[in-house]
Structure 1
């Protein structure tokens, strides 16, 4: 019995120490440099979007992000984003971000008076279809017990 408890304790320690990909901070510098600059979200799509509302980043309905402007500064992982869509509450905030080696975009939306290291909540999205002129960030949500992709389409601003 003592052997079983000992082995169980060791297994718990080993598995609880396993790092998760969300905290992987090995940067994908190439992906980050490609994101440098000004961007606009041109669409937000997901199955059932005509029936289901998604509160994106705990800020607003996902459709309010269409037309939002984003600035990414790759050398210091800072930037800002602003929602300006008619019919939606305006919102603007500084952000910190990075892309890790797992093609995960890690985002923190900051309050003006709080430093990034004090913000404990953030978002992890998958980077897909990255080109010089566009890329997608894909979030996973649960709808009806099934994982569903919410796709934010970014286009480089002129």
Structure 2
């Protein structure tokens, strides 16, 4: 009887420490090909911002993204001929919901083709919206000492 109770407690502990169901479902939904259609800001005006330590808003808009959740990797391709075109690689992680905002943390770390990071930098974004057709990321940075939010709006192309 004691062994049965101990096994039940151990099993409950193991299952409770796993990835939350909502995060698992998010990984299923994010899988596939996406287009980064539009980038907007919380403030009006013209801003010269380099996103993800890579390139400008104009270069990122209409870029093509692929998410492979079984190994938490992906790629994005800049296709605008006026920009530094080509495929970029990253690893990502969807983390548990932040109870204060109700949003999920989304971590993205640029890498090379072999999944190695050149500088160890990564980016913490908020996964504000995710469904079978669209996704929105939010990144809050500081502009002149005030919070400034960048909104990145994606649409799903295919799985």
Shorter chain as denominator, the TM-score bin is 0.7 to 0.9
CA–CA distance in 1 between the matches of 2:26 and 2:45?
A: 32
Shift of 1:154: 0.7
CA–CA distance in 2 between the matches of 1:142 and 1:108?
A: 20
For structure 1, the residue ranges without an aligned partner over 5 or more in a row are 1-25
Does the 8 Å CA contact 2:127/2:138 hold for their aligned counterparts? Answer: yes
Question: In structure 2, which of residues 46, 69, 72 is the aligned counterpart of residue 74 of structure 1?
Answer: 69
- Counterpart of 2:36 in structure 1 is 41
Does the 8 Å CA contact 1:128/1:136 hold for their aligned counterparts? Answer: yes
Structure with more of its chain in strand, by fraction: 2
For structure 2, the residue ranges without an aligned partner over 5 or more in a row are 1-18, 98-103
CA–CA distance in 1 between the matches of 2:137 and 2:124?
A: 9
Q: Is residue 132 from structure 1 mapped to residue 138 from structure 2 by the alignment?
A: no
- Counterpart of 2:109 in structure 1 is 108
Q: Which contiguous aligned blocks of 4+ residues in structure 1 show a shift greater than 2 angstroms?
A: 47-50, 112-116
Give the secondary-structure state (helix, strand or coil) at the position aligned to 2:112. coil
Does the 8 Å CA contact 2:36/2:155 hold for their aligned counterparts? Answer: yes
Residues 108-134 of structure 1 show CA distances to partners (whole Å, capped at 9, x for unaligned) of: 111235535x76211110001211100
TM-score normalised by the chain length of structure 1? 0.76
CA–CA distance in 2 between the matches of 1:87 and 1:115?
A: 28
- Counterpart of 1:146 in structure 2 is 146
- Counterpart of 1:61 in structure 2 is 56
Give the secondary-structure state (helix, strand or coil) at the position aligned to 2:84. coil
Q: Is residue 89 from structure 1 mapped to residue 84 from structure 2 by the alignment?
A: yes
Answer with 122-131 or 34-43: which moved more. 122-131
TM-score normalised by the chain length of structure 2? 0.75
Residues 84-103 of structure 1 show CA distances to partners (whole Å, capped at 9, x for unaligned) of: 11321213222111100121
The alignment yields a C-alpha RMSD, in angstroms, of 2.1
Answer with 137-146 or 37-46: which moved more. 137-146
Shift of 1:53: 1.2
